[in-house]
A and B are shown apart, each in its own frame.
Chain A
Amino acid sequence: MKTNDLIIQTTTKVVFFIIFLFSIHIFFAGHYTPGGGFVGGLVMSSAIVLLMLAFDLKTVRDMLPFNYTVITAIGLLISLLTAAGSIYFNVPFFTHVYDYFNLPLLGETSIHTAMFFDTGVYLVVVGVTMNIIQMIGGDE
């Protein structure tokens, strides 16, 4: 099915990046203000869904040639390793640590191992959602 919707396609190209940035923002903000891995991942997925609505599935697949199963697996692995990493330091499974650092450009930032865990969640949510939608949409 080939659509020729110039307005929506052009708008989508811009909006996609705005939503994408927003998703990154709420993901990072999640520890202190509403947001987090789940919401961030879902917002990201909805941005891609928007792309799919504007263009068609195949075009989007060419634009973003990710294997979402692999993304899911990577996310799961990151989460698991973050959780299991604490065992290496001889503290119970799932112990998180955090500290404050002075990073260039960003100023004082807290780095929290929970964030790595949340990164995993983010990736899993994106991977799973996109996988499902792509599968259902691509099923003829």
Chain B
Amino acid sequence: MSLIFAIFLPILVAIVIPFLFKKISSIHTGWFVLIVPVVLVGHYVTYISAIMDGTTYIDKFEWIPSLDISVVSYIDGLSLLFSLLITGIGALVVLYSVFYLDKDREKLGNFYVYLLLFMSAMLGVVQSDHLISLYFFWELTSISSFLLIGYWYTKDRSRFGALKSMMITVFGGLMMLGGFVLLGIMGETFSIRELIEQAPTLVGQEFFILALVLVLIGAFTKSAQFPFYIWLPDAMEAPTPVSAYLHSATMVKAGLYLVARFTPIFALSEVWVWLVTGVGLLTLLWGSFFAVKQTDLKAILAFSTVSQLGLIMSLLGIGSISYHVTGDLVTIFTFASFAAIFHLMNHATFKGSLFMIAGIVDHETGTRDIRKLGGLMSLMPISFTIAMIGSFSMAGIPLFNGFLSKEMFLDATLSLQHFNVHSLESWWMLFPIVAWIASVFTFVYSLYFVLHTFRGKYKPDLLPKKAHEAPIGMLISPAVLAVLVIIIFFVPNYFGNTFIKPAVAAIQPLAYKVPADVGFHIKAWHGFDSIALYMTLGVFLIGFLLYKSIAKWTPIYGMLPARMSLNGFYDWLMNLSDKGANRLSSSYMTGSIRSYLIYMFAAVIALLAFTMWTKDAFVINLTNLAPIQFFEILISVVLIISTITILVTKSRLTAIISLGAVGYTVALFYIIFKAPDLALTQLVIETVSVALFLGAFYHLPKMDKYEKGKEDRLFRLNNFLIALGVGVMVSLIAIASHSQKLVKSISEYYKETVYSEAGGGNIVNVILVDYRGFDTLFEISVLTIASLGIIGMITVRLAKKKGDRKVENK
């Protein structure tokens, strides 16, 4: 199976999903869908051992060769890890959704099409080596996320959340595209690998920082970093499998992937280091602080996700310091990259299981409001066990994988003391302190989440449904993840060697040639001289005290003004652009065809005049003119008089006959200018046209001149000026085009070949039926359509009048 095919496999399967859903209603569509991620996991697993040895794979598909745009699938440690996460968690989520979504009530066809679309898009993001195709897949994830959040589109909140996530992530995506284009121009290539090789020469370039910031905005919006995180809590309106999949395990990690992938290019700039680290830590603190305030189970998890993403982001930032130091210090900082990837993997396991548990609680009790929940431990023991494993891991308690990576994170922030630039020595402490405070809040909300739901008093009267344990199938997926949480704690180095080291080698190509060079060893116990140990103990102590006194200090959240919030800003901005766009378009879209015609004519005048002026197109050439004869002047005068008659007459009949007169004089012109076919046609058609007008005469309105009054003087002047402008422009063009012949006419060819090739004598007719027969074919088709239209307009009404046929008339 080629790598490109693997990326597109989910989309290809998605095509048949709606038919399966329609035709086979007895089997849940999810079972068919499940095959796709399972097959893909099997496929990607086969690459593991080779990737561990440092091999990379590449597969290329020329998409738009003329623009040098191709879909390139590049598999190295980083993209393989992500691909396995996407397909692995994807398989579990699909399995979970089979039990979560009812096959008779839900529109499963839509759901799985979106989900498979997302899977393809996400695989494309993490495997693309070409910036433009990366961008393409990136936006595709935004779109599929939009569709999935809005899956229950009858709910206002769903639509609002879907639109919000779309606005913010697509905004970021467009910024990122700008950054990509700048990079592509600076490096003269769109290939990420080639850009990485050029990184040292790119740093000094003028637009390097701008490109860096733009790409980071893309990553920050996608990974819900401060201040763009506001879309993520609203995205929780999506069905829970989607939240577990897109909004905790995979899509929101696309930003992290992007940062990791671009580290070798951008890390050479210190702006990158401080932006990534700073924004990451701020997001970590902000998210964990506000998670405690939430009352909705999924909202707690959403803020927790925001904060954990910040944690990984800051680790990636610290890891990129390794590009600025030498000697032993390099390993101290590459350790942060190692920790980042490790925590990324851990987070996918414990957060995925927690989301699924939140979904189960919602499914079995009918509410996600933590104030109504409590005491579910005895009713849902398995769910409780899984939730406890997940939460404790999130809180960083030993025996669960979160403890390992949380320790490594604290270690990494402490390592900042070795980075002695910009007199950092005095305030490097800030970073570990922020990290520590955030860890305390993380501990608090983790306990809050699990204990308030499952312990305490059972309140059956507040619950819409009678609580009971979920069906076994629904528990499989979270249970698998929970088991992984524990396994990773006990054999972390197996996972470290298999997945993390190859990924780190991809982020830190300067420090490590092959994955085996990454010499880190994960251990739970660092000895008593480890500062991180005491920090962790402090987190447990203070966190537990804060949890116990939670009711006493939560009122401080109420002190923050709601209007000043980021959400308020978003609403204000949307409202403003909505109203502004409305006002703008209603100012010129008057609904009157006259206005539109005026725009068109004015544009014609302006554009033609401008072009003539700037290109010096107006040439008057008085040689080579045909002589003027007396009857030509006579016909011209007749033409002018008839036209003026049309303009001034108040009688319909006069106007129609004058129009006919104009037509006949035009026919006379054709005779003078030696166009017998035209003259013949014009004469007959004018006759038929007059007959037509007279036939319609009975139905036609009286030709009132609505603009005859004095108050309409301005109206008439306006029309006259535009008409004059058009007339003058056309005259000028006629003169100019006659005065210069820029290209040779094809007519000479026609004249030469008409007898020898086409076997005809009348060149005009031969052009019509032979040389340009296609035109004529279309022309008679247009005529047919026009006549059918006329028949429609007349007979449909007749039928309605008779009442023998119902006609939809809106």
Interface residues of A (CB under 8 A from B): 26, 30-39, 42-43, 45-46, 49, 53, 69, 72-73, 75-76, 79-80, 83, 93-94, 96, 98, 110, 112, 114, 117-118, 120-121, 124-125, 127-129, 131-133, 135-137, 139
Contacting pair B688 A114 (CB below 8 A): no
Q: Is B531 an interface residue (CB 8 A)?
A: no
- Closest Cβ neighbor of B783 among chain A residues: A128
Report the bound CA distance from A43 to B783 in whole Å.
17
Q: Which residues of B from 692 to 711 have beta carbons under 8 Å from A? A: 692, 695-696, 699
Contacting pair A128 B677 (CB below 8 A): no
Contacting pair B765 A110 (CB below 8 A): no
Report the bound CA distance from A37 to B781 in whole Å.
15
Q: Is B644 an interface residue (CB 8 A)?
A: no
Q: Is B598 an interface residue (CB 8 A)?
A: no
Report the bound CA distance from A131 to B677 in whole Å.
24
User: Which of B685, B786, B787 meets A42, CB within 8 Å?
Assistant: B685
* Known contacts A35-B680, A127-B787; A30 and B777 CB within 8 A of each other: no
Report the bound CA distance from A29 to B758 in whole Å.
15
Q: Is B456 an interface residue (CB 8 A)?
A: no
Contacting pair A96 B761 (CB below 8 A): no
- List of 4 A-B pairs having minimum Cβ-Cβ separation, nearest first: A32-B761, A34-B676, A98-B759, A42-B684
Chain A residues closer than 8 Å to B696, beta-carbon distance: 136
Report the bound CA distance from A139 to B784 in whole Å.
19
Report the bound CA distance from A73 to B760 in whole Å.
27
Chain B residues closer than 8 Å to A121, beta-carbon distance: 769, 776, 780
Q: Is B551 an interface residue (CB 8 A)?
A: no
Chain B residues closer than 8 Å to A127, beta-carbon distance: 784, 787
* Known contacts A135-B790, A136-B696; A37 and B688 CB within 8 A of each other: no
Contacting pair B765 A30 (CB below 8 A): yes
Contacting pair B688 A26 (CB below 8 A): no
- Closest Cβ neighbor of B786 among chain A residues: A128
Chain A residues closer than 8 Å to B770, beta-carbon distance: 94, 96, 114
Q: Is B621 an interface residue (CB 8 A)?
A: no
Q: A33-B762, A132-B787, A133-B691 are in contact. List 12 more A-B contacts (CB 8 A).
A: A31-B760, A31-B762, A33-B761, A69-B788, A79-B777, A110-B759, A114-B766, A124-B783, A125-B783, A135-B794, A137-B695, A139-B794
* Known contacts A80-B777, A136-B692, A139-B794; A39 and B684 CB within 8 A of each other: yes
User: Which of B677, B691, B695, B699 meets A39, CB within 8 Å?
Assistant: B677
> Would you mind naming 30 contact pairs between A and B with Cβ atoms under 8 Å apart?
A30-B762, A31-B762, A32-B761, A33-B762, A35-B762, A35-B765, A37-B768, A39-B677, A39-B680, A39-B684, A46-B691, A72-B787, A75-B780, A76-B781, A94-B773, A96-B773, A98-B758, A112-B760, A114-B766, A117-B769, A117-B776, A121-B769, A124-B780, A124-B784, A128-B787, A129-B688, A131-B790, A133-B691, A136-B692, A136-B790
Q: How far is the CB of A80 from chain B (nearest CB, A)?
A: 7
Chain B residues closer than 8 Å to A37, beta-carbon distance: 768-769
Q: Is B687 an interface residue (CB 8 A)?
A: yes
Q: How far is the CB of A135 from chain B (nearest CB, A)?
A: 5
Chain B residues closer than 8 Å to A118, beta-carbon distance: 765, 769
Report the bound CA distance from A36 to B767 in whole Å.
11
Q: How far is the CB of A49 from chain B (nearest CB, A)?
A: 5
Report the bound CA distance from A33 to B786 in whole Å.
30
Chain B residues closer than 8 Å to A53, beta-carbon distance: 691
Chain A residues closer than 8 Å to B676, beta-carbon distance: 34
Chain B residues closer than 8 Å to A75, beta-carbon distance: 780
Q: Is B791 an interface residue (CB 8 A)?
A: yes
Q: Which residues of B from 743 to 798 have beta carbons under 8 Å from A? A: 758-762, 764-766, 768-770, 773-774, 776-777, 780-781, 783-784, 786-788, 790-791, 794-795
Contacting pair A135 B773 (CB below 8 A): no
User: Which of A30, A43, A72 meets B784, CB within 8 Å?
Assistant: A72
Contacting pair B762 A36 (CB below 8 A): yes
Contacting pair B695 A136 (CB below 8 A): yes
- Closest Cβ neighbor of A121 among chain B residues: B780
Report the bound CA distance from A119 to B688 in whole Å.
20
Q: How far is the CB of B122 from chain A (nearest CB, A)?
A: 45
Report the bound CA distance from A127 to B696 in whole Å.
19
Q: Is B681 an interface residue (CB 8 A)?
A: yes
